[in-house]
Amino acid sequence: MVFRQRTNLWNNFWIYLILFTLVLFFILPMIWLVIAPFSSKASLAVKITLPSLNNFRELFKNKVAMLAFKNSFIISFSSTIIVTITSMLAAYALSRTNFKWRSTLLYALLLFSTVVTGIAAMVPLFVLNLRLGLIDSYLSVIFVFIGGFLPVSIFIIKDFFDAIPKDYEEAAIVAGSTPSQGFFRIILPLSQQGMVVIALYIFMNTWGDFLIPFILLRSVNKYPVSVAIYTFFTQEGLPLLGLLSAYSLLYSLPVIVLYIIINRKFGFGFHGGLKG
Amino acid sequence: MFEGGIILSKKRAFLFMLPALAFVAVFLIFPAIWAIYIGLTNEALTGIYGLNHQFVWFDNFIKAFKDPWFHSSLQISFKFVFGSLVGQAGLGLLLALLLNNKKGILKELVSNIVIIAWIVPGVVVAYLWVAFLDKDFGLLNSILGILGFARVNWFRTLPVGVIIIFNTWRGTAFSMLLFMAALQSIPPSYLETADVIGASGWRKFRDIIIPLIKPQILTDLILLTLWTFNVFTPFILTKGGPAHMTEILPIYTYRVAFMGTGRIGQGAAISTIILLINLTLALIYLKMLKRK
C-alpha cells in the first residue's frame, strides 16, 4: 500500500508539472493584452509601469476606432437577427414535415456548408458583390455572413425542434388553434435556450471575422474593428501600440463576456459537434 | 387532413424555408459554382481584362500548375495543416486526459484559459503573437534572455513553426472539449477493473481509452484538417512572409486575386482547386458521420 501511494504522489507530480507547462504556454502570450493597455508607455514588451488610462482616453477620442465599433455592431447584430429568424422558420419546416427531397436537401446543406468556406469562395464572393453593386456596403458583408452561417444554424435549431414531441402541436391544433399559434405558444417557449445559444454563437463568430469585411469593404469609415485594427497596425504601427492594445482589449471584451454568460447559464460544452 | 402533415401544410413549409434557402442559394451555393466559370476566364481587377474578359479554357489551371509559388504554397499548407493537427489534437487529448476526473478551480482555470485563446478575435490573437515573439521586446525572448539564451528572430528562423504554434495555441480548445466529452462517455467501471488487475497508465490509455474514443479522434482529425486548410489568420501575423515562407494556399489565393494587377480569373481557378480539396475532405467526413 505504501508503495502504491508513493507512485501516486510521483504520478501526481508529473501531472501537475505538465499541466503547469501547458498553462504557461497558453497564458504567456495573453499577458501583453492585460498589461499593455494600462501602461503609460506601451511597447511590445511586457513591462509593468504606473497604471494609466491614457490609452483608453486616446482610443475614445479616435473617431475611426469608435466608428468601427459601431460598424462591427451593425454587421454582427443584423446578421445574427436575420440568421436566427430565417433558420428558425426553415428548421421548423424541416422538423415538422416530411417531403420527398427532405433528406437530399439536408445532405446538400451539410455538404455545401462544409465545402464552401470563406477561403474557398473569397474570389467568387468578391465578384458576385461587385456585379450586384454591393462592394463597400454593410449589406455585402451581412449577406455573406447570413449565407455562411444559415446551414449550421438550421441544423442546430432543427435538433432542438426534433426533441419537442409533435403531439403538443397536434393536440393544440385538434383543440382548435392555428399552426402559427402552435409555433409561437408551444415551440418557441420550449426552444428559447437553443435560440439564445445560436444567436450568441453567430454574434461571436461574425464579431471576430476578418477575411470577409477585409475583402468586401473599401472605405475606412465602414470597417469593422477587425479590419480597423489591422489597418492601424500596418499603417501606423509602433507609435500607436498603446491605443492598439487598449483597442484589442475592448474589442475582445464582448466575446469574453458572452462566453462567461453562456458558460454560467448553459454550460459550455458540446452539442452535436459544435460549440454552443 | 392537410397535405404534407397535420402541423404544417406543404405549401406553408415551403414558404417557411424560402428565405433561408434563397440566402444559401445566392451567397453560398452559387458562388461555389460560379468560381468554376470565373476560373475559366481571364477576368482581372485592373487593366483591359477588368472591363472585358474572355473565356480562356484551362489556361489558368495550367498556369497555376506551372507556377512555383503555387507548389510551394501547397507544400507550406501541407506542413501547416499537419503540424497544427499534431499540435492541436495532441495537446487537446493531453489536456482532456489530465483534466478528466479533476474537479474544482484547477480544471475551470485551465480549460477557461484554453477556451479564451479560441474565442478571442483572430486579429487580436495575431497581435498577441507579434508582441510575444518580437525579437527585441517580446516576452519570449526576454524570458530566454533571463535564462541566459540569445535572442532569436523567430519569424525568420522558424517561419512555418511560428504559424503552426500560433494556430495550435488558437485552436486546441476544440479538440480539448471534444475529447473531454468523449472521455466522460467511458464507463468508469472499465478503468476501475483495469486498476484492480494492476494495469499501468499507459496500458489503460492504449488498450481502453484509445479504442473507445477512436470515432471522436477520427472526427477531430478530419474536421481539423478541413478547418486548418481554410484558415486565413496567419496572414495577419506574417502576411505570408518573410519571402513567401509562410504563404499557405489561402494567402497565395489572396495575393494572386487581389494584389498587384488582381488576377481574378487566376484566383478563381485556385479557388476551384481549394473547393475540390474541401469536397474530398467533406465527403470523407460525411461518410464517417453516416457510419456512426
Q: Is residue A136 situated within a structural domain? A: yes
What would the mean pLDDT of B87-116 be, rounded to a whole number?
91
Q: Is residue B11 situated within a structural domain? A: no
User: Going by C-beta distance under 8 Å and a sequence separation of 6 or more, which residues neighbour residue B59?
Assistant: B42
List the CATH number of the domain containing B153. 1.10.3720.10
Domain extent at residue B236: 67-291
Q: Is residue B196 situated within a structural domain? A: yes
Q: What's the pLDDT score for residue B1?
A: 39
List the CATH number of the domain containing A205. 1.10.3720.10
pLDDT band at A3 (very low <50, low <70, confident <90, very high): low
Q: A122-131 and B264-291 are packed helices; what angle lies between their axes, rounded to 10 degrees?
A: 120
pLDDT at residue A2 tops 60: no
54-113 of B, contacting A, C-beta below 8 A: 91, 94-95, 98-99, 106, 109-110, 112-113
pLDDT band at B217 (very low <50, low <70, confident <90, very high): very high
Identify the weakest region by mean pLDDT among A33-42, A222-231, B145-154. A33-42
User: How many CA atoms lie within 13 Å of A125's alpha carbon, on the beta-carbon side?
Assistant: 32
Chain A contact for B28 (CB, 8 A cutoff) = yes
pLDDT band at A52 (very low <50, low <70, confident <90, very high): confident
Tell me how close the Cα of B176 comes to any Cα of chain A, in angstroms: 10
Higher pLDDT pick, B274 / B100: B274
CA separation for the pair A172, A190 (Å, rounded): 15
CA separation for the pair A239, A230 (Å, rounded): 14
Q: What's the pLDDT score for residue B5?
A: 60
Same domain? For A25 and A127 the reply is no
Q: Is residue B13 situated within a structural domain? A: no
pLDDT at residue A260 tops 80: yes
Q: Is residue B211 situated within a structural domain? A: yes
Same domain? For A157 and A91 the reply is yes
Same domain? For A73 and A183 the reply is yes
How many structural domains does chain A have? 2
pLDDT band at B2 (very low <50, low <70, confident <90, very high): very low
Nearest C-alpha in A relative to B26: A147
Same domain? For A102 and A140 the reply is yes
Q: What's the pLDDT score for residue A100?
A: 84
Nearest C-alpha in B relative to A170: B7
Same domain? For A207 and A174 the reply is yes
pLDDT at residue A82 tops 80: yes
Q: Is residue A179 situated within a structural domain? A: yes
pLDDT band at A274 (very low <50, low <70, confident <90, very high): very low
186-215 of A, contacting B, C-beta below 8 A: 204, 207-211, 215
Tell me what percent of the residues of chain A surpass a pLDDT of 90. Answer: 58
Q: Is residue A190 situated within a structural domain? A: yes
CA separation for the pair A48, A40 (Å, rounded): 9
134-193 of A, contacting B, C-beta below 8 A: 143-144, 146-148, 150-151, 154, 166, 169-170, 173, 179, 182
Q: What's the pLDDT score for residue A271?
A: 47
What would the mean pLDDT of B53-63 be, rounded to a whole number?
91
Same domain? For A88 and A197 the reply is yes
Contacts of B275 in chain A (CB under 8 A): 115-116, 120-121
Q: Is residue B55 situated within a structural domain? A: no
CA separation for the pair A214, B15 (Å, rounded): 34
Q: Is residue A48 situated within a structural domain? A: no
pLDDT at residue A199 tops 70: yes
Same domain? For A137 and A245 the reply is yes
The verdict on a CB contact (< 8 Å) between B116 and A86 is no
Select from B233, B241, B87, B254 the least CA-distant residue to B174.
B87
CA separation for the pair A222, A124 (Å, rounded): 22
Q: Is residue A126 situated within a structural domain? A: yes
The closest CB to that of B24, out of A27, A150, A230, belongs to A150
Q: What pTM value is reported for the model?
A: 0.92
Q: What's the pLDDT score for residue B236?
A: 94
pLDDT band at B48 (very low <50, low <70, confident <90, very high): low
Chain A contact for B238 (CB, 8 A cutoff) = no
Chain A contact for B26 (CB, 8 A cutoff) = yes
pLDDT at residue B257 tops 90: yes
Contacts of B19 in chain A (CB under 8 A): 86, 89-90
Same domain? For A8 and A136 the reply is no
Identify the weakest region by mean pLDDT among A69-78, B82-91, B101-110. B101-110
Contacts of A273 in chain B (CB under 8 A): 178, 219
Q: What's the pLDDT score for residue A275?
A: 35
pLDDT at residue B105 tops 50: yes
The closest CB to that of A97, out of B10, B94, B230, belongs to B10
Higher pLDDT pick, A197 / B129: B129
Q: Is residue A163 situated within a structural domain? A: yes
Tell me how close the Cα of B157 comes to any Cα of chain A, in angstroms: 19
* Average pLDDT score over chain A: 88
CA separation for the pair A189, A238 (Å, rounded): 51
Tell me how close the Cα of B29 comes to any Cα of chain A, in angstroms: 7
Same domain? For A27 and A84 the reply is no
What would the mean pLDDT of A77-84 be, rounded to a whole number?
97
The verdict on a CB contact (< 8 Å) between A112 and B24 is yes
Same domain? For A22 and A92 the reply is no
pLDDT at residue A87 tops 90: yes
pLDDT at residue A179 tops 80: no
What would the mean pLDDT of A238-244 be, rounded to a whole number?
80
What would the mean pLDDT of B145-166 be, rounded to a whole number?
94
Q: Is residue A47 situated within a structural domain? A: no
The verdict on a CB contact (< 8 Å) between A125 and B19 is no
Same domain? For A70 and A204 the reply is yes
Q: What's the pLDDT score for residue A122?
A: 96
Chain A contact for B174 (CB, 8 A cutoff) = yes
Q: What's the pLDDT score for residue B259?
A: 92
Q: What's the pLDDT score for residue A6?
A: 59
Q: What's the pLDDT score for residue A194?
A: 82
Q: Is residue B77 situated within a structural domain? A: yes
Same domain? For A154 and A223 the reply is yes
The verdict on a CB contact (< 8 Å) between A128 and B31 is yes
pLDDT band at A1 (very low <50, low <70, confident <90, very high): very low
Domain extent at residue A90: 55-275
Q: Is residue A189 situated within a structural domain? A: yes
pLDDT at residue B4 tops 80: no
Q: What's the pLDDT score for residue B25?
A: 96
How many structural domains does chain B have? 1
pLDDT band at B292 (very low <50, low <70, confident <90, very high): low
57-96 of A, contacting B, C-beta below 8 A: 86-87, 89-90, 92-94, 96
What would the mean pLDDT of A105-123 be, rounded to a whole number?
94
